[in-house]
Amino acid sequence: MKASAPGKIFLFGEHAVVYGKKALVTAIDLRCFADVKKRDDFRISSPIGITGLDFEKHPYISYAIKRFMEIKEIKGADIEIKSQIPVASGLGSSSAVTVSVLKALDAEFEASLTNEEIYEIARKVELDVQGIGSGTDPFISTYGGCWLIPDRKPVNIGKVYFLVINTEEKSITGDMVKKVASLRKEFPDVVDSIMSAIGGITSVAIPHLENLNNDKISKLIRMNQCLLKSIGVSSEKIDEIVMKLNSLGIPSKLTGAGGGGCVIAIGDLEKLTEVTKVFPNAFFVKPEKEGAKVE
Ligand code: PMV
């Protein structure tokens, strides 16, 4: 059986959400596809290569299988992954692969898991691999849509366009979250104030996104990016892209864990289309309503 799950972008609130503050996150129209067939042993095939159960090369898929087998005993499976989501780029590829594999395993082996059960297993896999995380990515990948987290409140954002520019530098979520945790240990009050400020930006931004008030959204995006930079999760490449966009009058911020990965720019279609001439690798993404599904 074949299943798919979407990637996501953080509009506001990454890192702060790890400390219980508010984040606004939407699924995007890039998906990961997992094709699962019964077999006597395990074979995993992805753009990374072909392996058996391999916790080094295919950690998310291997832990997803291990966790699934706690619910349903299986002898083996042939798992083939095809993904539209760039890897380690802050667009949620790890959760999309985890959730799509779980959804396909569920369908192939008739385990009748609910979406909430799939989310809970994917959340365990996130912690198995990264040791730390807010559970936001597996939630969005499972349910699709745009949500205020941790409230789990659906948000109806207006007709917003997102342009994504990949720094082509890897963003390793666990490493970045641990880096912030260590800064917080050194300066607890300072970092907690920054996290509260980021959470505050998320809350203030929601009505402006619903009403598409571009002027207010721009200012809030710029503030969020500055706060992320202040906790050490930007990079020279991200700063360069953000500054260039700024000079074109376009607000932008990193999305996801940072340290590399992607920058998102928000604005009107005409202005953003101009940007694609300056950044040839830039691409548009749209908010996606559908979460994990059998294809
Ligand atoms: O880079 P991503 O897509 O894995 O997003 C990480 C978001 C963080 O807030 C930094 C961590 C988390 O688990 O929420």
> 265, 240 in Cβ contact below 8 A?
no
Q: What is the DSSP letter of 52?
A: S
Closest approach atom of ligand 1 to CA 136: 14
Residue 57 CA, ligand 1 centroid: distance in Å: 21
CATH fold of 2-153 reads: Ribosomal Protein S5; domain 2 (3.30.230)
Across 6-10, 81-85, 158-162, least confident range: 158-162
Residue 125 CA, ligand 1 centroid: distance in Å: 14
127 residue type, one letter: L
Q: What is the average per-residue pLDDT within 9-30?
A: 97
Q: Which residues contact 111 (CB under 8 A, 6 or more apart)?
A: 68, 71, 72, 105
Q: Whose CA is nearest to atom 4 of ligand 1?
A: 173
State which of 91, 98, 132, 137 you would mutate to test the pocket of ligand 1, scoring each by most atoms of that ligand within 8 A of its C-beta. Answer: 137
Residue 205: phi, psi to the nearest 5? -70, -30
Q: Tens digits of per-residue pLDDT, 31-72?
A: 999 999 999 999 999 999 999 999 999 999 999 999 999 999
Residue 41 CA, ligand 1 centroid: distance in Å: 33
At residue 37, the pLDDT reads 97
Closest approach atom of ligand 1 to CA 13: 9
State which of 8, 12, 14, 139 you would mutate to test the pocket of ligand 1, scoring each by most atoms of that ligand within 8 A of its C-beta. Answer: 14
Residues whose beta carbon lies within 6 Å of some atom of ligand 1: 14-15, 17-18, 90, 92, 133-134, 136-137, 171, 173, 177, 256-257
Q: Where are the beta strands (DSSP E) in 21-101?
A: 23-38, 42-46, 49-51, 77-83
Query: DSSP 3-state assignment of 80?
Result: strand
Q: Which residues pair with 153 in a beta bridge?
A: 148
What are the structure tokens assigned to 196, written together? 């509260």
At residue 138, the pLDDT reads 97
Active site residue 175: no
Q: What is the DSSP letter of 287?
A: B
Q: Which residue has the higher pLDDT, 70 or 158?
A: 70
At residue 23, the pLDDT reads 98
At residue 211, the pLDDT reads 86
Closest approach atom of ligand 1 to CA 130: 13
Is the pLDDT score of 270 beyond 90?
Answer: no
The pLDDT confidence band at residue 130, using thresholds 50, 70 and 90, is confident
Question: For 174, how many CA atoms within 13 A lie in the half-sphere containing its CB?
Answer: 9
Residue 281 CA, ligand 1 centroid: distance in Å: 23
pLDDT, mean over the chain: 95
CA 252 to chain centroid, in Å, comes to 17
Where do the domains of the chain lie? Answer: 2-153, 157-285
The rounded percent of the chain whose pLDDT value lies above 70 is 100
Closest approach atom of ligand 1 to CA 176: 10
Dist CA 289 CA 26 (whole Å): 9
Q: Whose CA is nearest to atom 13 of ligand 1?
A: 133
Domain 157-285 has CATH 3.40.50.300: no
Is the pLDDT score of 116 beyond 80?
Answer: yes
Q: Where are the alpha helices (DSSP H) in 83-187?
A: 93-108, 115-130, 136-143, 173-186
Of 106, 123, 7, nearest in space to 63 by CA: 123
Q: What are the C-alpha distances in Å from 294 to residues 35, 99, 107?
A: 10, 11, 7
Residue 205 CA, ligand 1 centroid: distance in Å: 19
Exposed, middle or buried: residue 63 (CB in 10 Å: 0-12, 13-18, 19+)?
A: buried
Q: Which residues pair with 147 in a beta bridge?
A: 25, 154
Q: Tens digits of per-residue pLDDT, 197-222?
A: 999 999 999 999 988 888 999 999 99
Closest approach atom of ligand 1 to CA 23: 9
Q: What is the DSSP letter of 248?
A: T
Of 53, 6, 9, nearest in space to 31 by CA: 6
State which of 8, 10, 183 you would mutate to test the pocket of ligand 1, scoring each by most atoms of that ligand within 8 A of its C-beta. Answer: 10
- For the four alpha carbons of 92, 98, 104 and 110, in that order, the dihedral sign comes to negative
pTM of the model as a whole: 0.94
Tell me whether strands 23-38 and 49-51 are parallel, antiparallel or unpaired. unpaired
Residue of 29, 40, 54, 137 marked catalytic:
137
Of 21, 288, 16, 36, nearest in space to 142 by CA: 288
Element containing residue 285 per DSSP (H, E): strand 283-285
Query: DSSP 3-state assignment of 81?
Result: strand
